[in-house]
Amino acid sequence: MIRLSIDKKRVDKARGYARDIAISFQELIEKNSSVTIERTVARLMGVDGALPTGEPLPNLLVEHLRVRDVLSRGVAYWLTNGMLVEGTSAKAIAEKVAAGELDLTSLPAQPTDKILEELEKVSSLTLKKIRDQRCIREDAYIKYGPRNQPAIYVIVATGNIYEDVVQAQAAVRQGADIIAVIRSTAQSLLDYVPFGATTTGFGGTYATQENFRIMRQALDEVGEEVEKYISLTNYASGLCMPEIAAMGALERLDIMLNDAMYGILFRDINMKRTFLDQYFSRMINAYAGIEIQTGEDNYLTTSDAIESAYTVTASQLINEQFALMSGLRPEKMGLGHAFEIDPEIENSVLYEIAHAFLTKTLFPDSPVKYMPPTRFASGNIFKTYLMNGMFNMVAQITGQGVQLLGMMTEAIHTPHLADRGLAIENAQYIFKAVKSFPDEFILQENGFINQRANRVLDEASEFLSHVKEIGLMQALSEGAFAEIKRSEHTGRGLEGVFFKDTEYVNPFMDKMKSELFGSNVEYIM
Please classify residue 382 by burial: count the beta carbons closer than 10 Å to its beta carbon, then call 0-12 exposed, 13-18 middle and 19+ buried: exposed
Closest listed residue to residue 320, CA positions, set 289, 269, 359: 359
Q: At a CB cut-off of 8 Å and minimum separation 6, what does 408 contact?
A: 381, 382, 384, 385, 388, 419, 422, 423
Please classify residue 371 by burial: count the beta carbons closer than 10 Å to its beta carbon, then call 0-12 exposed, 13-18 middle and 19+ buried: buried
Provide the 3-class DSSP secondary structure of residue 129.
helix
Q: At a CB cut-off of 8 Å and minimum separation 6, what does 118 contact?
A: 80, 83, 84
Q: Let me know if 297 is a catalytic residue.
A: yes
Catalytic residue among 177, 277, 297, 419: 297
Closest listed residue to residue 367, CA positions, set 378, 359, 375: 359
Name the H helices within 68-204. Answer: 75-86, 90-98, 112-144, 161-174
Number of CB atoms found within 10 A of residue 24's CB: 13
Q: What stretch of H or E contains 244?
A: helix 241-250
In angstroms, the CA 3 to CA 409 distance is 35
Catalytic residue among 191, 369, 419, 523: 369
Catalytic residue among 229, 262, 279, 351: 262
Number of CB atoms found within 10 A of residue 162's CB: 15
In angstroms, the CA 204 to CA 191 distance is 18
**Amino acid of residue 482:** A
Cis peptide before 194 (omega within 30 of 0): no
Q: Let me know if 262 is a catalytic residue.
A: yes
Number of CB atoms found within 10 A of residue 393's CB: 19
**Alpha-carbon torsion angle 413, 414, 420, 422, nearest 10:** 0
Would you please indicate which residues are annotated as catalytic (active-site) residues? 262, 297, 369
